[in-house]
Amino acid sequence: MAKVLSLHETQATDRGMDRNPGLPFTPEYFTCLRINRSAVERRAASLPARRSVKKAYQVAWLLKAISCMDLTTLAGDDTPGRVRRLCAKAQRPVRVDLLEALDVRSLDLTTGAVCVYHNMIPIAVEALAGTNIPVAAVSTGFPAGQISEPLKLAQIEASVQAGATEIDIVINRARVLTGDWAGLYEDVKAYREACGEAHLKAILATGELGTLTNVARASWVCMQAGSDFIKTSTGKESVNATLPVSLVMVRAIRDFHRLTGYRVGYKPAGGISKAAEALAYLVLMKEELGNRWLNPQLFRFGASSLLGDIERQLEHYITGSYSAAHRHPTS
């Protein structure tokens, strides 16, 4: 067996923002991993209290959270009108009067992307024309992923052709649960090739992987296969993004960067609806990966209702009072 490279002792040349090209399938890098759940949970529980972000500093962090948000609608009753309203909100995520009161209108704040189902891609592309806001599309039989591989590849190619520049794929959970790491690698590698220039975000559906060790190993396999981002959840599982799972995934990203010099992005998704939760994830990214990851090229929230609560917190900072949630609609 090849000598296992010590990830904690290796510092590769930093590749800046070069896209992750992946690695040959190398199980020695991840089969040795064993995650101590209790230690992870203790560390994760400490994160919300480690940095007390108040007043103007909190405002700055919340504005950062907005810029890193994939504003999402993935409902069975989505309509072209809803998607257009979502795209309008992505371009102007905070009311103008609040931006003026905060003296930040010059920031030209937008969300990081808009995420939709395949059939809504043309609507979103048209609505966002002339902006720098990318359109992301879910693919590969989202959310369950229980369709054939040829159909998954065809879905990716069709979404890219329709104008999506980011593709959120779901992995085959059975590959993880049966230990078929080589099969998972080949799947994700093929998805990456089908994406072409579009960026690939690999959804692990961590709530269905059983153990944190499986989460760590699946993260490594997806990064080896060339994923540009790794993402926690579809938002449709019974358990979605959590801080313990996120800690495991961002440490895998950290070690992958130390090994290769390439930065892989991270996207927690599902269940993040409160501004305080967003702050905890930003603290996690800052402490574990550093300021270089605190931008929409490397960090995204998958969220729909989060933006409304952040806007309420901004209004509270200005006025001292909380407004009703219906005053801050997402779409």
Contact 231, 267 (CB under 8 A): yes
| CA atoms of 152 and 191, how far apart (whole Å) | 8
- Cα separation, 316 vs 321, in Å, equals 5
Tokens representing residue 229 in the block: 């981002």
Tokens of 240: 């979605």
Strand partners, 231: 203, 267
Going by C-alpha positions, the residue among 140, 189, 133 that lies closest to residue 165 is 133
* Residues marked as catalytic: 168, 231, 267
* Cβ-proximal residues to 187 (8 Å cutoff; 6+ apart), any chain: 149, 171, 172, 175, 225
- Give CA–CA dist 215/232, Å, rounded: 9
CB 188 within 8 A of CB 218: no
Answer yes or no: are the C-beta atoms of 13 and 263 closer than 8 Å.
Answer: no
Ramachandran angles phi, psi of 80, nearest 5°: -55, -35
For 34-73, letters b (16+ CB in 10 Å) and e give ebeeeebeebbeebbeeeebeeeebbebbbbbbbbbbbbb
If residue 199 lies in a helix (H) or strand (E), which one and from where to where?
strand 199-203
| Spacing of C-alpha 212 from chain mean position | 18
* Residue among 198, 251, 261 nearest 227 (CA): 198
